[in-house]
Homo-oligomer: A and B are copies of this chain.
Amino acid sequence: MIIVLKPGIAKKEERAVLQEIRKLGYVPHVMRGVARTVIGAIGDERTHQSLETLVTWAQVESVTPIQKRYKLVSREAHPANSTIQVRGHVIGGKKFHVMAGPCSVESERQLLQTAEAVKAAGATVLRGGAFKPRTSPYEFQGLGEKGLKLLAKARRATGLAIITELLSEQHADMVAEYTDIIQIGARNAQNFQLLVAAARTGKPILLKRGLSMKIEEWLLAGEYVLANENPNLLFCERGIRTFETYTRNTLDLAAIPIIKQESHLPIVIDPSQGAGRSDLVIALCKGAVAMGADALLIEVHPNPAEAWSDGAQQVSLEVFPKLMQELRPLIAAAGRE
Contacts from A to B (Cβ < 8 Å): 2, 4, 7, 20, 24, 29, 31-36, 38, 40, 42-46, 49-50, 52-57, 62, 64, 66-67, 69-71, 76, 133-138, 167-170, 187-188, 190-194, 210-212, 214-217, 220-221, 223-224, 227-228, 240-247, 250-254, 256-258, 261, 274-275, 277-280, 282-284, 286-292, 304-308, 310-312, 314, 329-330, 332-334
* Distance A2 CA – B220 CA, assembled complex (angstroms): 25
List, in ascending order, chain B residues with CB within 8 A of A46's CB.
138
A169, A215, A332: which has the most chain B beta carbons within 10 Å?
A169
A250-B242 CB under 8 A given contacts A53-B305, A286-B291, A312-B53:
yes
A229 to chain B, nearest CB (A): 12
* Distance A205 CA – B11 CA, assembled complex (angstroms): 40
Number of copies: 4
Q: Which of B43, B244, B289, B314 contacts A290 (CB 8 A)?
A: B289
* Distance A95 CA – B226 CA, assembled complex (angstroms): 47
A35-B40 CB under 8 A given contacts A66-B4, A136-B223, A290-B290:
no
A292 to chain B, nearest CB (A): 6
A62, A64, A258, A314: which has the most chain B beta carbons within 10 Å?
A258
* Distance A210 CA – B211 CA, assembled complex (angstroms): 10
List, in ascending order, chain B residues with CB within 8 A of A211's CB.
211-212
B290 near A190 with CB under 8 A, answer no
List, in ascending order, chain B residues with CB within 8 A of A70's CB.
136
| Complex: chain B residue closest to A53, CB-CB | B311
| Complex: chain B residue closest to A293, CB-CB | B287
B192 near A191 with CB under 8 A, answer no
B167 near A169 with CB under 8 A, answer no
A31 near B29 with CB under 8 A, answer yes
| Complex: chain B residue closest to A131, CB-CB | B193
A246-B258 CB under 8 A given contacts A134-B192, A278-B56:
yes
A38 to chain B, nearest CB (A): 6
B254 near A252 with CB under 8 A, answer no
List, in ascending order, chain B residues with CB within 8 A of A310's CB.
53
A148 to chain B, nearest CB (A): 16
Q: Which of B44, B133, B329 contacts A333 (CB 8 A)?
A: B329
